[in-house]
Amino acid sequence: MQKSGENHNSAQESAESLAAQALSWVTEDADRLNAFMAMTGAAPADLMRNIARPAFLATVLDFLLTEDALVIGFCDAHGLPYTTPMQARAALPGGTPWHWT
């Protein structure tokens, strides 16, 4: 039986892996890459330096989630359900859903 912390670590590791895939997908297209760098303020050197940082990977998914076309393009390219990036984002720092009530 897994402890709840183990489930959380596994979910975060899966989310980090997905975000790294998303970053790779973003960098395959100059327009996507430029838009990502403009939104985040990241420089090209920041991409490799921060790839293992969960907070940076969260920004990759934040970027992906800004447009339906990005989500659809990424998910179609990787054979994933369209809800996958949002679920992964929830497992990374700052991904706790907001409750407005």
Q: What string of pLDDT tens digits covers the 101 residues of the chain?
A: 444 455 568 889 999 999 999 999 999 999 999 999 999 999 989 988 998 999 999 999 999 999 999 999 999 999 999 999 999 999 998 876 655 55
Please give the full DSSP string across 4-42, using - where no structure is assigned.
HHHHHHHHHHHHHHHHHHHHHHHHTSHHHHHHHHHHH--
pTM equals 0.84
Asked if 23 contacts 51 with a C-beta cutoff of 8 angstroms, the reply is yes
